Amino acid sequence: MKNGWAYLHPDFRGPNRTPQATGSELVIGDIVSAVEFACGKTKVDKKRIFLFGASGGGYTSLIMAGKRPDLWAGVSSWVPISDLRAWHKECKAKGRKYYREIELSCGGAPGSSPKVDQEYAKRSPLTFLKNARGVNLSINAGILDGHKGSVPISHSLLAFNEVAEEKDRLALEEITYFTEKAKVPTALVREIKDPSFGKKAPLFRRTSGSATVTIFQGGHEWVAPVVLAWLESENKRILKDKNK
C-alpha cells in the first residue's frame, strides 16, 4: 500500500497433491485469470506485472515463466522444484512424504506407464523453461536446502542452466559439488555485496542475459527484504526506461 502496488495472492487448487494442482493447466489458468481480475479491479500497468513464489510457489513461478513468459515484467523464484521426476527420487531416498504426493498428482511413480511419465514431464518446469529465455528471472536457493530442507539446490541451478547462454551454464560436476557438499566450488568463490540479504549473505551469483541465480547462506526459505528490494529496483528500472 505504501508503494502504491496492487498485491494479489491467488489461492489456487489447494496443496500440490492432486491432479488438479501441481502445475496443472487449471493452475496456470487460475493465475492468468487472477492477473486479469486484478487488471479489471484496479489501475495496473501491464508492463509492470511481477510474480513471486517460494517452495511450491517457487515451482509454480518457474512454470508460469515458461508457460506465459509474455505476462511478466519479472519473476522471482525461491527454493523451487524444477524436475518432479528427480524430486520424487530424492524424497523417496530420504523418506520424505512428498514423493507420495507427487504420485497422487501424476498418477503413480515414474516409470509406471508412458502416461504417468508424460504427467511428470508436462508438470516439470525444466520441460519448457527454454521458453523463459529473455524473461527477467531471479532464482534463489539456500545452500543448505536438501540437507536442512526438502529441495536440493540442483533444482535451482539446473533451472538457471535452461535459460542461460551456453557459455554461462554450470557444469554438472559443479552442480553436484554444490548439492552434495553444501559448499561453493573453490573456483567459483567470489565476494558478493548485497545488504538486502542481511545475515543470509549471498555465496554465489551468476547472471546470463536477463536471468540470475543466487545461492545464499540459508536453507529452504525466502528472504522478504530481498524480494521487496528486487521489486522496487526492477520497478524503478522499467519506469526509467519508459521515460527515456
The 10s digit of each residue's pLDDT in 10-25 is 777 889 999 999 999 9
- Provide the pLDDT for residue 210: 96
- Provide the pLDDT for residue 57: 96
- Provide the pLDDT for residue 242: 79
The 10s digit of each residue's pLDDT in 154-175 is 999 999 999 999 999 999 999 9
Q: From CA 165, how far away is CA 162, in angstroms rounded?
A: 8
- Provide the pLDDT for residue 60: 97
Checking if the pLDDT of 203 tops 90, the result is yes
- Provide the pLDDT for residue 160: 98
Given a contact cutoff of 8 angstroms between Cβ atoms, the answer to whether 226 and 196 are in contact is yes
Considering the domain 45-83+129-242 in this protein, what is its CATH number? 3.40.50
Listed as own residue / partner, the contacts of 21-26 with beta carbons closer than 8 Å and 24 or more positions apart are 21/105, 22/84, 22/102, 22/105, 22/106, 22/123, 23/59, 23/60, 23/63, 23/84, 23/122, 23/123, 23/124, 23/125, 24/123
Domain ranges of the chain: 45-83+129-242
Average the pLDDT over 200-208 and give the result. Answer: 98
Question: Which residue would you say has higher pLDDT here, 235 or 211?
Answer: 211
- Provide the pLDDT for residue 66: 98
How high is the mean pLDDT of the chain? 96
* pTM for the full predicted model: 0.96
Question: Which residue would you say has higher pLDDT here, 86 or 10?
Answer: 86
- Provide the pLDDT for residue 193: 94
- Provide the pLDDT for residue 11: 76
- Provide the pLDDT for residue 3: 84
